[in-house]
Structure 1
Amino acid sequence: MSAGTSDIPAPEQEPAELARFREQWKAEVRQRQAATSGPQTQPVPSGSATAERAVSPARSDTSTKTATITNTLSASRGPATHALAGAPAVLAHASHGQSHLSPTLAHAVEVYRKAAFHEQHSQLDEALRLYRQAFRLDANVDRAYFIEEQRAQERSAAQPATHKKIPSAGSVDAVTRGVEKLEVHQDSKDKSFVTSGVLAHVLKDFPENLVFEPEDEKGGRPPINLVPDELLLQIIRTLDYASIERFAAVSRKARVLSLDTAIWRDFVHLAYKPPQIADDESITNIVESYNSDYRKVYIEHPRLRLDGVYIAVCHYMRMGSSENAWVNVTHLITYHRYLRFFPNGQVLSLLTNEEWQPQTVIPMLKPNLRMKGFYIGDWYLSGSTVYITNLTEKRLSSAHATAEPQQNKYVFQMTLSLRSRPLGRWNKLDFIGYDSVNVEDGEAVPLPLKNERSFWFSKVKSWAGY
């Protein structure tokens, strides 16, 4: 090599993708400046260098084309649409209301919609699998899904009021909000019911004349078809709600019969009265807030279960003593808390150690029980919050077994949050607060809750609900 030749290699040519990205970015900046510089409208260049949006090199050609549509429509519709198009999800809407998604993103949104549907029906394993699949297809599928749902709602709201539109079968929002309702008449009878959401869409596809089909296709129609619908409804009204839902899963005819408004009206009016609701709250207003769907009210409106007991299994560790200095002894302490609610506003609370198992305690849990750790108080429900007050200990005196206990110096109060896992069960109570109240001056002192656990409901067959 000659002395005049440099040892530094010549710079490599700039990658084509980087150059194209720089030109696209410059074109977009010039376009934005032209749109904000004055009232006049600047024409959008037709070349790909100014119309296409900058996308990641990892995107496919289809995604790039979709981004082009998004950017063009955003520039022509104004700032509001442009802000929406700036979301990472590659999404745009044409003037006729249809959505334009890339094939990959469209498939991801559909998988995400199925996952949300399974989650609403408490099928969490399947929902988790579909969520993972959707996010593997596109990392921004959740934003695209919610934008699509919002657009669908806007289009349904813009429909003429002369004919009602049924919510989309994949629209999970229609299930939770129940915006629209469907009234279906059973055959030629003047019996009707009201339902909403996905169930309304399913019923729309049912044939008009429904019958019970035989289990074996070769067999004749079952004799239950000879029973009039009016008589079947009277029989169904004698069942509890869990049995009615199991019966509804038998066939389409059973599902339609189980939705009769009279059935669920009985449940609602029997359950939702003080202390389940406030004294000044009207059940009529509650029903109207659910579009007169009594079944939806009974499933989704908070209510305490009275046909069983709420049990909390609590544990904590306690250090023990050992003769050997090299050995540490740790004891696992287990205790149970029980809460039983009555329709008259009375509540029973019992705290027991591990020697008293639930199968022994539950038959004893009555107002006449007298043992250490047994309390009687009052309860009421406000929204999804349960308030328990005036918990007073009831136990026998040590001097005489039949003597009345002495006046307690302290009473207790609890505040709990009512939840439902899955929907409609109302089977979980979480501690919010637990206080000790001085009877003389009313001073409330919070008690520690580090060892307390949530209450879970356990049904007792022999206990009436309402």
Structure 2
Amino acid sequence: MSAGTSDILAPEQEPAELARFREQWKAEVRERRAAATSGAQTQPVPGANTAAERAISPARSDASSKPAITNTLSASRGPATHVVAGAPTVITHASHGQSHLSPNLAHAVEVYRKAVFHEQHSQLDEALRLYRQAFRLDANVDRAYFIEEQRTQERSAIQPASHKKVPSTVSVNGVTRDVQKLEVQDSKNRSFVASGFLAQVLKNFPENLVFEPEDEKEGLPPINLIPDELLLQILRILDYTTIERFAAVSRKARVLSLDSAIWRDFVQLAYKPPQIADDESITNIVELYSSDYRRAYIEHPRLRLDGVYIAVCHYMRMGSSENAWVNVTHLITYHRYLRFFPNGQVLSLLANDEWQPQTVIPMLKPSLRMKGFYIGNWSLSGSTVYITNLDEKHPSHAHATTELQPNKYFFQMTLALRSRPLGRWNKLDFIGYDSVNVEDGEAVPLPLKNERSFWFSKVKSWAGY
């Protein structure tokens, strides 16, 4: 029986075994409450472990046992200092208010926590399986779980003011999600902001961080002698790829790399027209990402200007043959290149396989003149790239002996900006490609059968912004 149908069973359709278990458990709960009211020490109830084992027995694989487990968990909550006699669980409390669990119980609590997560997300089958696994590891795992949750909340309530975790909800591209934001302020009043999964990692870092040696027997490395202010100034002149590589060295490096001033520089350089609309504010963009400049730079769409987008296209063309029994087929290969500039100018080149990328890329400048070379304008709206007024620039020798005539057509493209993986913004997919008549402005769609996606290739000698 599926989990969806087990919750709506009529009382007369309820399995007899489940009904017996529920009545038995109610009787046990009444006995426990009576003992607690009289002030007597709670003793293990005969048959309780047997009932719990029946509730989580692998033989009861159907989801109808889920209500029985829920009753077991809700009824078994008790005082934080309660210990069930004769059970394998050992729960002691240290003077500083934290609990110590045996390794087996700690593992059971972790499994139980996963089960609660799946239950909250309506994944009842997986939750039931994990509940059973947790109770097999320890029959009192539910009690230990609730004690640990209470102590976690108590520790969060007295969390130092220098670490403030603020839950927030953001909506990006129509998708609403909850994130966690961690604001860390050190003794020198520098602000480090992180959100999402990174915030969960950082909140467990110690207060005083140093660069530690690779070999513990060695002393602290000399880099610890450099003031943090100087290290931050060095990081601000590096590119973001180098900064992220430095951040992977140690926890101290990761915290330094999150300084808001570093990523604010990247955001302010990148997100300005035509990367964003004229009336759009950088402040509003950053607020979408919990005021985390690093996340904004990674996750908000932006065209890469430090390289070229290249599409390698193929198609088959039938050839002619003198022999009627022989069919000749040609594989035609050509490349499309797109280079974007900060001032809104874009270069487009269509070249056959005689012109390889290693030859074309050094030539891809506004001064280039060859067949298939176009210059136009670009703008970015959300994750959609609009390229307009693509005008072909003919070779200079083509009009050496004839009067220069303006082009009768120009072209326009609409492309979708993608990121594979996150933060790269390295792919452009064709949405539309039109030929526009200069005289009447009529746009005629061109076939996209042979067109392929553009992939970004970085050029070290080209500046980004």
Same fold (TM over 0.5): yes
Would you say 1:463 and 2:462 are equivalent positions? yes
After alignment, is 60-69 or 282-291 more displaced?
Answer: 60-69
AA paired with 1:67?
A: A
Q: Cα deviation per residue 1:225-281 (whole Å; 9 max; x = unaligned)?
A: 110000000000000000000011111111111000000000001100000000111
Give, in angstroms, the shift of residue 67 of structure 1: 3.1
1:46 aligns with 2:45: no
1:205 and 2:185 matched: no
Distance (whole Å) between structure 1 residues aligned to residue 404 and residue 127 of structure 2: 61
Kept in 1: contact 2:6–2:63 (CA 8 A): no
* Closer, same or farther: CA 178–283 of 1 in aligned 2, 3 Å: farther
What residue in structure 1 maps to residue 213 of structure 2? 214
Matched, 1:183 2:179: no
Q: Which residue of 1 aligns with 2:252?
A: 253
State the secondary structure of the residue aligned to 1:360: helix
What is the alpha-carbon distance in structure 1 between the residues aligned to residue 76 and residue 449 of structure 2? 58
Please report how far the alpha carbon of residue 204 of structure 1 lies from its aligned counterpart in structure 2 after TM superposition: 1.3
Superposed, 1:230-379 pairs within 5 Å as: 230-379=229-378
For residues 301 and 432 of structure 1, the distance between their equivalents in structure 2, rounded to whole angstroms, comes to 20
Q: Deviations over 1:10-51 (max 9, x none)?
A: xxxxxxxxxxx9xxx9997542899xxxxxxxxx98336999
Q: Indicate whether 1:64 and 2:63 are aligned.
A: no
Equivalent AA in structure 1 for residue 179 of structure 2 = V
The separation in 1 between residues aligned to 2:390 and 2:7, in whole angstroms, is 73
CA contact (8 A) 1:276 1:304 kept: yes
1:94, distance to aligned residue in structure 2 (A) = 4.8
In structure 2, how many angstroms separate the alpha carbons of the residues matched to 1:143 and 1:424?
A: 37
How far apart in 2 are the matches of 1:335 and 1:419? 22
The 3-state SS of whatever aligns with 2:19 is coil
- For 1:392 and 1:95, locate their aligned partners in 2 and report how far apart those are by CA, in whole Å: 76
Runs of 5+ consecutive residues of structure 1 not aligned to the other structure? 1-20, 35-43, 52-58, 77-91, 98-102, 114-137, 146-154, 168-175
1:189 CA displacement: 1.8
Confirm whether residue 31 of structure 1 aligns to residue 11 of structure 2: yes
Deviation at 1:405, TM superposition (A): 4.4
Instruction: Name the CA shift for 1:282/1:26 in 2 (closer, same or farther; >3 Å).
Output: closer
How many corresponding residue pairs? 361
Verify the 8 A CA contact 1:312 1:456 in the aligned structure 2: yes
CA apart distance, 1:217: 2.6
Preserved contact between residue 63 and residue 125 of structure 2 (Cα < 8 Å): no
Would the aligned equivalents of 1:394 and 1:405 in 2 still touch at CA under 8 Å? no
| Per-residue deviation, 1:306 | 0.3
Whole-angstrom CA distance in 2 between matches of 1:359 and 1:375: 19
Q: RMSD value over aligned CA atoms? A: 4.0
Structure 2, unaligned runs of 5 or more: 25-54, 78-107, 131-148, 168-175
- Return the alpha-carbon distance in structure 1 between the equivalents of residues 375 and 219 of structure 2: 58
Asked if structure 2 preserves the Cα contact closer than 8 Å seen for 1:397 and 1:405, the reply is: no
1:295-328 deviations in Å (ceiling 9; x for gaps): 0000000000000000000001111122222222
Distance 1:141 1:326, change over 3 A: farther
Q: Does the Cα contact within 8 Å between 2:312 and 2:333 map onto a contact in 1?
A: yes
Q: Is the 8 A contact 1:212 1:221 kept in 2?
A: yes
Residues in 2 aligned to 1:418 and 1:67: alpha-carbon distance in whole angstroms? 45
Is the Cα contact below 8 Å between 2:165 and 2:182 reproduced in 1?
Answer: no
Report SS of the residue matched to 1:190. coil
Q: By how many angstroms is 1:192 displaced?
A: 1.4
Give the 3 Å change call, closer, same or farther, for CA 412–142 of structure 1 in structure 2.
farther
- Give the structure 2 partner of residue 171 of structure 1: none
For 2:73 and 2:358, the matched residues in 1 are separated by 61
Counterpart position of 2:419? 420
Residues 73-130 of structure 1: per-residue CA shift (max 9 Å, x gap): 99x9xxxxxxxxxxxxxxx985999xxxxx9xx69978x99xxxxxxxxxxxxxxxxx
Matching residue of 1:125: none
The alpha-carbon deviation at position 206 of structure 1 amounts to 1.3
Residue type matched to 2:11 in 1?
A: Q
AA of the residue aligned to 1:46:
A
Q: Indicate conservation of the 8 Å contact 2:378/2:388, yes or no.
A: yes
The whole-number CA distance in structure 2 between the counterparts of 1:142 and 1:319 is 59
- Identity fraction in percent: 72
- Paired with 2:401 and 2:113, the residues of 1 have a C-alpha distance of 71
TM-score (norm 1): 0.68
**Matching residue of 2:102:** none
Shift of 1:213: 1.4
Is 1:195 aligned to residue 194 of structure 2?
Answer: yes
Are the equivalent residues in 1 in contact too, given 2:340–2:347 (CA < 8 A)? yes
Residue 334 of structure 1 aligns to a residue whose secondary structure is: strand
Q: Deviations over 1:415-460 (max 9, x none)?
A: 0000000000000000000000011111110000010000000000
1:259–1:295 contact (8 Å) kept in structure 2: yes
Q: Distance in 1 between matches of 2:9 and 2:205?
A: 55
Displacement of 1:62 after TM fit? 3.6
